[in-house]
Amino acid sequence: MLRALYATIATLFLALAQPAAATDAVNPQADFKAFRDFFTKRFPNVPLNDFVNGPYSMDADLRKQWVAIEDFPPYEFAVDKGKEMFATPFKNGKSYGDCFPNKGIGIRQNYPYFDVKRGEVVTLELALNRCREANGEQPFSYVKDDMAALTAYMAFTSRGKPFDIKIPNDPRALAAYVNGEKYFYSRRGQLNFSCASCHVQSPGEHIRTEVLAPALGILAAMPIYRSEWGSMGTISRRFVTCNSQVRGVPIEPQDENYRDVEYYLSYMSNGLPIAGPGARP
């Protein structure tokens, strides 16, 4: 009698436990579909590719200002500088192009990628500094100036190419993806905000004078010239300032968490066109 009772309890336990395990199972493709559906259903009048224009896809007045700004884009100097830097050889005679497929032209849409040899996510910013160090040069700051110029030029040569982020069949890649997802949805800072608090729950809403961008396609226009900064900034700079704005102490640029969240968000934007460099208020 007791045995039968135990067996029944065990069966019930297993039956209840299985759906929970299924919920926790990692399925990037299902996440991708749910993520895209969420934004396209919430903003049915926004063409899919327009999400890469961030706040301009959400606010008509802001869009008019942006169209006017694009006549003399503030990121143009960075593109020119990046192009010149790209063409200038290192002291050893090699150049950035030697570190990248297709000499670094038109490849932005493939970054970040999961490096199966190293077992980690490699962003374009990280790859650029590793290229410099491999050629005997000092690494750049990850947040602005030279790094922003280089990535601006590389993005410019990739404009219109769809994001093509792959998650290889490697448990470490899946773990990096989940870590990025976790970082994106975790609340932090004294204001207790997650990335999703602004960019999933509130895109199109105002936070003070700013219009919040949707998370879908949010990295496609990076790096950006931001009027608030009065200068160019990289993806690293954007993450650092996001953390500060919610009263969280930023982690180091290119920390594993930042690279993983870039990986997650870029995968969610697969198929959307590169639009960088961009201009933002």
Partner 1 sequence: MRLFIPALGVLWLVAASAAMAASTEADFKSALAAAEAAEKDAGTLKNQWTTTEQTLAAARKAAAAGNFEAATSAAKQAEALAKASIAQAKEQQQAWRAAVIR
Residues annotated as part of the active site: 242
Rg (CA), the chain: 21
Q: Which of 159, 202, 251, 271 binds partner 1 (CB under 8 A)?
A: 251
Among 221, 224, 235, 263, residue whose Cα is nearest residue 122: 263
Question: Shortest distance, CB of residue 250 to partner 1, whole angstroms?
Answer: 9
CB 215 within 8 A of CB 231: no
Q: Which of 8, 92, 192, 227 binds partner 1 (CB under 8 A)?
A: 192
Stretch that binds partner 1, among 43-51, 64-72, 85-93, 251-259 (CB under 8 A): 251-259
Nearer to partner 1, 175 or 196 (CB): 196
Q: Tell whether omega for the bond before 277 is within 30 degrees of 0, i.e. cis.
A: yes
225 secondary structure, DSSP code:
E
Nearer to partner 1, 11 or 192 (CB): 192
Is residue 174 part of the contact set for partner 1 (CB under 8 A)?
Answer: no
- Name residues contacting partner 1, limited to 7-26 (CB under 8 A): 24
C-alpha to C-alpha distance for 253 and 239, rounded to whole angstroms: 8
Question: Shortest distance, CB of residue 184 to partner 1, whole angstroms?
Answer: 8
Among 280, 187, 191, residue whose Cα is nearest residue 235: 280
Binding mask 197-226 for partner 1 (x = CB under 8 A): ---x--------------------------
Is residue 182 part of the contact set for partner 1 (CB under 8 A)?
Answer: yes
Stretch that binds partner 1, among 3-11, 55-63, 71-79, 246-254 (CB under 8 A): 246-254
Question: Shortest distance, CB of residue 91 to partner 1, whole angstroms?
Answer: 37
Among 241, 240, 232, 276, residue whose Cα is nearest residue 257: 240
Instruction: Find how far residue 73's CA is from the centre of its chain.
Output: 22
Is residue 229 part of the contact set for partner 1 (CB under 8 A)?
Answer: no
Tally of CA atoms within 13 A in the half-sphere of 70 that contains its CB: 12
By the 10 Å C-beta count (0-12 exposed, 13-18 middle, 19+ buried), 102 is classed as exposed
The contacts of residue 237 (CB under 8 Å, 6+ apart) are: 142, 143, 144, 148, 223, 229, 253
Is residue 247 part of the contact set for partner 1 (CB under 8 A)?
Answer: yes
Binding mask 71-110 for partner 1 (x = CB under 8 A): ----------------------------------------
CB 181 within 8 A of CB 264: yes
Tokens standing for residue 261? 């969240």
Question: Shortest distance, CB of residue 208 to partner 1, whole angstroms?
Answer: 18
Q: Tell whether omega for the bond before 162 is within 30 degrees of 0, i.e. cis.
A: no
Nearer to partner 1, 96 or 183 (CB): 183
Nearer to partner 1, 33 or 64 (CB): 33
Q: Which residues bind partner 1 (CB under 8 A)?
A: 24, 31, 34-35, 38, 181-182, 185-190, 192, 194, 196, 200, 244, 247-249, 251, 255, 257
